[in-house]
A = this chain, B = another copy of it.
Amino acid sequence: MKNLAKKLMVSPGSHVKLSALDASDTHGVEKAQAEEQFPQLRDRLGVLQYLLYAEGRRALLVVLQGIDAAGKDGTIRHVMTGLNPQGVRVTSFKAPEGTEKRHDYLWRIHSAMPEFGQIGIFNRSHYEDVLIVRVHNLVPKSEWTRRYRQINEFERMLSDNHVRIVKFLLYIDRDEQAVRFRERINDESKNWKFSPDDLKEREHWDEYIQAYEAVLKECNAGHAPWYLIPANRKWFRNYAVAQVLADELEAMDLKYPKATLDLSGITFE
């Protein structure tokens, strides 16, 4: 769908009120239409990924954020499956542990950066350091407020150095989360994903929303934009993320590199 990406992108400088958002919105896209177009969209992503790899001078970093059960794992599974895994590196960031805790919070993030020519996918990211960290007061307010600037400068540096950053906030509403938690509990193939901690986190819903709204306001530059994906409908979430990624890669105007040697004299005997 034309212009879907533009509709989903959060304009830098704007103040999003997440609670006013309809998480079931599909921006006029119909399910049948999305499901028909989705395979072509994935193929297009595969072609663009190969161009990114061939050019080898820039990287694409995809940041996936969302409250518990918003569909981060599902998005990766559905949208990224068509990509050549040699050119993709998925990193899941859990609560920092071991050697990670003995560094600044951006250290593990920087270490996981995709090489030029590659797509890096972050399942959670440095944004947790101004989300869960804020909600649970894991560091003093004076410390996490400084992180907005640190994150902005970090992302600016990456962008200046040929890393395109695309950030997704998968947004489900509170009712949908309840539905998905019940599913997880009742479904043998999913109940391993459920933890009593999830219910504790759910009690902090409003604080998370507030923390996400702050992120969308404080850390949303043109070189590292947020896309806000209404994610109650999984089919729409997948379609929208794939569409945005395809548009973003297309906008990079990727080119095959020119041969640097004169190949005209080469013969095969």
Q: Residues of A at under 8 Å CB distance from B?
A: 56, 59, 99, 101-107, 110-111, 113, 115-118, 143, 146, 150, 153-154, 156-158, 160-163
Among residues of B, the one whose C-beta sits closest to the C-beta of A153 is: B153
Number of this chain's copies in the complex: 2
Residue of chain B at shortest CB distance from A159: B104
Cβ A157 vs Cβ B160 within 8 A: no
- For A143, list chain B residues within 8 Å (CB): 160
Q: How far is the CB of A255 from chain B (nearest CB, A)?
A: 17
Nearest CB in chain B: distance from A230 CB, A: 33
Identify which of B59, B102, B153 contacts A157 (C-beta below 8 A). Answer: B153
Give the chain B neighbours of A107 by CB distance below 8 A.
110, 113
With A111-B110, A111-B111, A153-B153 known as contacts, the answer to whether A161 contacts B102 (CB < 8 A) is: no
Q: In the complex, what residues of B have CB within 8 A of residue A162's CB?
A: 104
Least distance between A18 CB and chain B CB atoms (Å)? 28
Write out the residue numbers on chain B whose beta carbons fall within 8 Å of the beta carbon of A157: 104, 106, 150, 153-154
- Give bound CA distance, A101 to B160, whole Å: 15
A161 to B142, CA, bound (A): 12
- Shortest beta-carbon distance from A20 to chain B in Å: 34
Instruction: Give 12 A-B pairs besides A101-B116, A103-B115, A104-B158 with Cβ atoms closer than 8 angstroms.
Output: A99-B115, A103-B116, A104-B113, A104-B157, A104-B161, A104-B163, A106-B161, A150-B156, A150-B157, A150-B160, A153-B153, A153-B154
